[in-house]
Amino acid sequence: MANLRIPKPWEIPERLTTPEDVYLNRRQILGAMGLGAMALGLPLSLACARPPDPELLARGLAPALGKKYADRFPARRNPLYGVGDRKITPEKDAGGINNFYELSTTKDEVWKKGLGYKVDPWTVEVGGLVKKPRTLDLDALLKGFPLEERLYRFRCVERWAMQVPWTGFPLRALIDSLEPLSSARYVRFVSVKDPEHLPGQKETPWYSWPYYEGLRMDEARHPLAFVVVGSYGHALPMQHGAPLRLATPWKYGYKGPKSIVRIEFVADQPPTFWNMMQPDEYGFYSNVNPKKPHPRWSQEIENDLGTGARRPTQLYNGYARQVGAMYDGREV
């Protein structure tokens, strides 16, 4: 084991064009070793070296807002949203391996790079083709909507999957308060841009920051589309996208932008970050589909982040009954 050197992300030449490779390579190496790091629940790079420092991990899971709005949590769990016989992913796993390139492209470093990032004050500019544009501040976000907890499945395009208790409110509640015009056919989301304080943004100037994503209007108004302000019974820690991110559990994880600062209603399908970077690999719709392989890997099987269990990927990540009617199967 000591002889095996896991390549650092910056040593993998395809990194500039194939960022999602980094994690898969590491996992495949670990898998070939039969190490089962995921089964041990250890962050990957620490698995070979030393056990994680529980105190540090605990600190990394603290809400980015500190004690502010702590009285809004935990919210009542909505029993309509469950994950069947799957187990909730341990919080330290969901919060220890993350994709948030603004902080770091190394998954088990993301939470560390997010420690101390200031998300107070925060505003989200909401506008475009609506009658009632508005600016949401933290009070509006944390107190302006009834909060509920939902258990959602989550599936990253890189094949890891988890089950998370998110706290938030349906995106639809916000949309309806804006009275969108009939010309508004899509919604676009823009994440924070702050290279001064977000080390990942500073280190990767070749990406077209800020991160941006989009949904078709019916997708955005679907009851499953959820504005997330908390996880595991408290406000979001930074690595999950504090103070607000989106969850669209029938789509690959990158359709859920983190640390959103702008929401805009538009007429035409908006460009999206990964689609602009790699159009042949990341489409606009990006619905979870085991039969549609990623150009560089099959999507038939997924790996549970907490247990390491392999299981078949489900169409629309198991939400076919809820979302199937929105699609004719030709969406990419």
Ligand X SMILES: Nc1nc2c(c(=O)[nH]1)N[C@H]1C(S)=C(S)[C@@H](COP(=O)(O)O)O[C@H]1N2
DSSP per position, 44-91: HHHHHH----HHHHHHHTS-TTTTTTGGG-SPPB-TT---TTPPPPPH
**Residue of minimal CB distance from Mo ion?**
156
Nearest distance from C-beta of residue 321 to Mo ion, angstroms? 24
Cβ proximity of 234 and 139 under 8 Å: no
251 binds, among Mo ion, ligand X, none (CB under 5 to 8 A by kind): none
Q: Kindly identify the residues of this chain, within the stretch 98-127, that bind ligand X according to CB under 6 A.
A: 98-102
191 binds, among ligand X, Mo ion, none (CB under 5 to 8 A by kind): ligand X
Nearest distance from C-beta of residue 229 to Mo ion, angstroms? 21
Q: Is residue 156 part of the contact set for ligand X (CB under 6 A)?
A: yes
- Of residues 15 and 134, the one with the C-beta less far from Mo ion: 15
Place of tokens 């077209």: 208
Q: Kindly identify the residues of this chain, within the stretch 201-240, that bind ligand X according to CB under 6 A.
A: 211, 239-240
Nearest distance from C-beta of residue 182 to ligand X, angstroms? 30
Count residues near Mo ion (CB under 5 A). 4
- Alpha-carbon distance 54 to 77, whole Å? 28
- Of residues 186 and 254, the one with the C-beta less far from Mo ion: 254
Nearest distance from C-beta of residue 56 to Mo ion, angstroms? 24
**Contacts (Cβ under 8 Å, ≥6 apart) of 74:** 149, 167, 233, 234
- Alpha-carbon distance 238 to 255, whole Å? 18
Q: Determine which residue in the list 89, 104, 191, 313 makes contact with ligand X, applying CB under 6 A.
A: 191
Q: Is residue 96 part of the contact set for ligand X (CB under 6 A)?
A: no
Longest dimension (CA), the chain: 63
- Of residues 119 and 129, the one with the C-beta less far from ligand X: 119
| 39, 95, 102, 103, 112 from 57: Cα distances, Å | 18, 8, 20, 16, 9
- Of residues 177 and 271, the one with the C-beta less far from ligand X: 271
Q: Determine which residue in the list 89, 98, 99, 231 makes contact with Mo ion, applying CB under 5 A.
A: 99
Q: Which stretch binds Mo ion (CB under 5 A): 26-34, 62-70, 246-254, 263-271?
A: 246-254
- Of residues 162 and 171, the one with the C-beta less far from Mo ion: 162
- Of residues 174 and 305, the one with the C-beta less far from Mo ion: 305
- Of residues 129 and 255, the one with the C-beta less far from ligand X: 255
Cβ proximity of 219 and 126 under 8 Å: no
289 binds, among ligand X, Mo ion, none (CB under 5 to 8 A by kind): none
- How is residue 331 written in tokens? 């969406």
Q: Is residue 256 part of the contact set for ligand X (CB under 6 A)?
A: yes
Cβ proximity of 233 and 72 under 8 Å: no
Q: Kindly identify the residues of this chain, within the stretch 5-34, that bind ligand X according to CB under 6 A.
A: none
| 82, 232, 319 from 165: Cα distances, Å | 9, 5, 16
The kind and range of the H/E element at 124 are: strand 124-128
- Alpha-carbon distance 145 to 82, whole Å? 21
- How is residue 109 written in tokens? 């470093």
Q: Determine which residue in the list 61, 124, 147, 156 makes contact with Mo ion, applying CB under 5 A.
A: 156
Binding site for Mo ion (CB under 5 A): 99, 156, 253-254
Binding site for ligand X (CB under 6 A): 98-102, 156, 191, 211, 239-240, 253-254, 256-259
